[in-house]
């Protein structure tokens, strides 16, 4: 075999490389200059949403039949990474609806897919996703929000926590117990877990109240709120997955959306590396740029190693999702991508600040913002301790 016949492994197809270049250009020109202000003012970046809408980025992952770009989870990850290199808030315009629409793609009716996925793809609709409760985060069995049948409709009551993007959402995909007796006891058996269902809650539904934005360490541009549901009536057609399929659909939704969290981690880590490297080339100590000191070189090398490894894990996880392999048997690959990439983001932010020294601790530079934002990635959509538990259980076949 001649050298000319060898192809580079793990390279993105041309369409994804084109997408990457397009989003990178938009991010550098239009998003990067806004990132600090979005965080400082805790300002919802409507201008960024409209920018992504104008350039057809919002629905890049959705099927073409619904007006999307047809580029799946890998396309979402490519776009998310390029935005996250500069701003951690703006990628949520992709990752939040990606999570919500995955539930609809997996278990929704043809009518739900046509109306809601098309609305998200065009940018005319916004979505959010809600399972977490004050006493039920990773422990979904502790869920107490319940839905009771009422003729052809459902009545939902309960409280949800940490629903990001909920004030702007046109609909929220929400998990609740469908228990005829309305009791809010804990769920433990597999039979009881089947009582979890998914619903579409439209904006402005009577009985739904979106609480005030939480005061967050980072990720301050997109509001995160509690939801309060009191005798919230929704039509029967808004049921996505019934009590026989709701729990499974919820787990599959998380599995298939987790590469997007990993992509945010990769982008953030790359942004830290880019900034620290540029600074180290300019800052002098002991008569030479600090990049010439081996201690700094090793930190930069480790940031590069971890980021490259994380990117490959995320791309593989996204590719698995796109070929339909996001069930239990492949969940450890997906959990590995989310876990490793978010840990890499946090470590890169900390090491980047260390390279900058006292300067890095100041708000004049973006790395302190990146560090605050990175912490969220290790927690959301299943903490990294939960991810490690999932990986181990799969490997041990528990």
Active-site positions read 381
CA distance 306 to 316: 15
CA distance 24 to 44: 21
Q: Of 339, 332, 187, 325, nearest to 256 (Cα)? A: 325
Q: Of 215, 174, 212, 217, nearest to 196 (Cα)? A: 174
CA distance 254 to 139: 14
Q: Of 259, 285, 222, 276, nearest to 342 (Cα)? A: 259
Q: Count of residues for the chain?
A: 398
Residue 107, SS3? Answer: helix
Q: Which two tokens stand for residue 177?
A: 């117990």
DSSP state of 298: H
Taking a C-beta distance cutoff of 8 angstroms, is the pair 32, 48 a contact?
Answer: no
CA distance 273 to 236: 50
Residue 364, SS3? Answer: coil
CA distance 29 to 51: 11
**Residues paired with residue 159 on neighbouring β-strands, in sequence order:** 228
Q: What phi-psi label fits residue 70: left (phi over 0), alpha (psi between -120 and 50 degrees) or beta? A: left
């Amino acid at each position: 075999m001649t050298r000319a016949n060898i192809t580079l492994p793990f390279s993105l197809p041309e369409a994804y490389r084109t997408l990457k270049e397009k989003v990178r250009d938009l991010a550098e020109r239009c998003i990067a200059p806004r990132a600090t202000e979005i965080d400082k003012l805790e300002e919802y970046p409507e201008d960024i949403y409209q920018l992504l809408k104008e350039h057809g980025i919002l629905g890049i992952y959705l099927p073409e039949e619904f007006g999307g770009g047809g580029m799946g989870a890998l396309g979402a990850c490519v776009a998310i990474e390029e935005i996250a290199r500069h701003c951690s808030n703006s990628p949520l315009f992709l990752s939040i609806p990606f999570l919500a629409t995955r539930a609809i793609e997996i278990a929704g009716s043809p009518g739900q897919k046509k109306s809601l996925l098309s609305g998200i793809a065009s940018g005319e609709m916004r979505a959010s996703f809600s399972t977490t409760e004050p006493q039920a985060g990773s422990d979904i069995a502790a869920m107490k929000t319940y839905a009771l049948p009422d003729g052809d409709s459902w009545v939902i009551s309960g409280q949800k926590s940490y629903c990001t993007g909920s004030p702007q959402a046109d609909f929220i995909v929400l998990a609740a117990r469908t228990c005829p007796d309305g009791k809010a006891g804990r769920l433990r058996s597999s039979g009881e877990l089947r009582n979890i269902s998914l619903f579409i809650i439209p904006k402005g539904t009577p009985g739904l109240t979106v609480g005030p934005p939480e005061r967050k360490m980072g990720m301050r541009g997109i509001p995160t709120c509690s939801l309060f549901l009191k005798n919230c009536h929704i039509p029967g057609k808004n049921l996505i997955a019934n009590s026989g399929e709701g729990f499974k659909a919820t787990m599959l939704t998380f599995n298939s959306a987790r590469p997007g969290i990993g992509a945010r981690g990769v982008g953030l880590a790359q942004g830290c590396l880019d900034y620290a490297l540029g600074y180290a080339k300019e800052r002098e100590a002991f008569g030479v740029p600090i990049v010439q000191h081996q201690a700094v070189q090793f930190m930069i090398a480790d940031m590069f190693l971890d980021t490259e490894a994380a990117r490959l894990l995320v791309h593989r996880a996204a590719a698995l999702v796109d070929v339909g392999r996001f069930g239990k048997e492949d969940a450890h690959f997906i959990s590995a991508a989310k876990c490793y990439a978010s840990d890499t983001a946090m470590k890169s932010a900390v090491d980047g600040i260390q390279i900058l020294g006292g300067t890095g601790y100041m708000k004049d530079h973006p790395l302190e913002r990146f560090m605050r934002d990175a912490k969220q990635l290790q927690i959301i959509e299943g903490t990294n301790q939960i991810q490690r538990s999932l990986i181990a259980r799969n490997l041990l076949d528990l």
